[in-house]
């Protein structure tokens, strides 16, 4: 009888653990699905915004200040407010087959749905350093494969800007000098490193490119 009670309690505990793990797995899958759906919806919406803005833009004189896409009227009601989440550009890296919309800001929410334009850094077409950040397990999953000479494109309502990769580096998270202003038009991509590290990655992978 005593052994039977022990076995029953042990079996019950195992069953409870199995149920808990199953529920946690379902919740994790639902979270991933919702996050992916949110990112997809934003990417599609931002792409339409860029195309609509480009269609409305006539010839822009050389030297004209970049006009953010959130200045274009939007009737969708989603992400229409200026600032965090406003579409900035379309990013293309042909060799590693990356195409993604860039949104203003680098908050956790922005980085869930897009590549983030780091506030305070230059905008495409301006002199200075354009800083872009994204998660290593989403939009920047393949940037570790970039090498010197690879081309990166940023398309805005004012036109397309091309950059050529000059170097890559691995730095500590406290090294923010990689986003310092530069005298020329440069582009810096930032993501966490190592790419397949479980948990919060301890370093940052940096790609530096120069305007062509």
Q: What are the pLDDT digits (tens) for 92-125?
A: 999 999 999 999 999 999 999 999 999 999 999 9
Cα 41 from Cα 172, distance rounded (Å) = 33
- Residue 76 has what pLDDT? 33
Where are the domains positioned within the chain? Answer: 38-71+82-211
Fold of the domain built from segment(s) 38-71+82-211: Sortase; Chain: A; (2.40.260)
Element (H, E) at 18: helix 2-56
Q: Give me the pLDDT at residue 115, please.
A: 97
Between CA 204 and CA 78 the distance in angstroms is 32
Q: What is the residue whose two structure tokens read 């009888």?
A: 1
pLDDT at 22: 64
Instruction: Report the alpha-carbon distance of residue 193 to residue 86 in Å, rounded.
Output: 27
Residue 66 is encoded by which pair of tokens? 């970049």
The residue that leads in pLDDT, 5 or 93, is 93
Q: Which two tokens stand for residue 188?
A: 């810096």
Q: What is the pLDDT of residue 7?
A: 54
Per-residue model confidence (pLDDT) at position 197: 86
Count of other CB atoms within 10 angstroms of residue 88? 27
Return the pLDDT at 5.
55
Give the largest Cα separation in the chain, rounded. 90
Give this prediction's pTM: 0.75
Least confident of 5-9, 62-66, 119-123: 62-66
pLDDT in tens, 29-47: 555 566 677 788 999 999 9
Give residues with Cβ within 8 angstroms of 83, minimum separation 6.
70, 104, 105
Report the pLDDT averaged over residues 68-83. Answer: 39
Q: What is the mean pLDDT of the chain?
A: 82
Q: What is the pLDDT of residue 73?
A: 34
Q: Rounded distance, CA 111 to CA 211, Å?
A: 24
User: What six digits make up the tokens of 23?
Assistant: 């529920």
Question: What is the pLDDT averaged over residues 181-205?
Answer: 94
Tokens of residue 163, six digits: 């950059």
Closest C-alpha to 113, from 123, 130, 101, 129: 101
The residue with greater pLDDT, 52 or 15, is 52
User: 72 pLDDT exceeds 70?
Assistant: no
Reported as a pLDDT band with limits 50, 70 and 90, residue 53 is confident
- Assess contact for 119 and 111: CB atoms under 8 A: no
pLDDT digits (tens, 9 = 90+) for 163-172: 999 999 999 9
């Amino acid at each position: 009888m005593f052994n039977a009670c022990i076995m029953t309690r042990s079996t019950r505990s195992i069953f409870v653990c199995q149920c808990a793990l199953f529920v946690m797995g379902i919740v994790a899958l639902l979270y991933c699905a919702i996050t992916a759906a949110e990112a997809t919806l934003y990417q599609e919406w931002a792409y339409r915004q860029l195309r609509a803005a480009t269609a409305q833009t006539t010839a822009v004189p050389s030297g004209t200040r970049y006009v953010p896409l959130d200045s274009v009227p939007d009737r969708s009601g989603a992400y229409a407010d200026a600032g965090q989440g406003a579409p900035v550009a379309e990013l293309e890296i042909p060799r590693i087959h990356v195409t993604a919309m860039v949104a203003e800001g680098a908050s956790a929410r922005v980085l869930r749905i897009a590549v983030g334009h780091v506030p305070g850094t230059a905008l495409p077409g301006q002199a200075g350093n354009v800083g872009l950040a994204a998660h290593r397990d989403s939009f920047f999953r393949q940037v570790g494969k970039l090498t010197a000479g690879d081309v990166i494109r940023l398309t805005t309502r004012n036109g397309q800007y091309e950059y050529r990769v000059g170097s890559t580096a691995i730095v500590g998270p406290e090294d923010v000098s990689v986003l310092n202003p530069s005298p020329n038009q440069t582009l810096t991509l930032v993501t966490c490193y190592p790419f397949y590290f479980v948990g919060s990655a301890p370093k940052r992978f940096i790609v530096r490119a120069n305007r062509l």
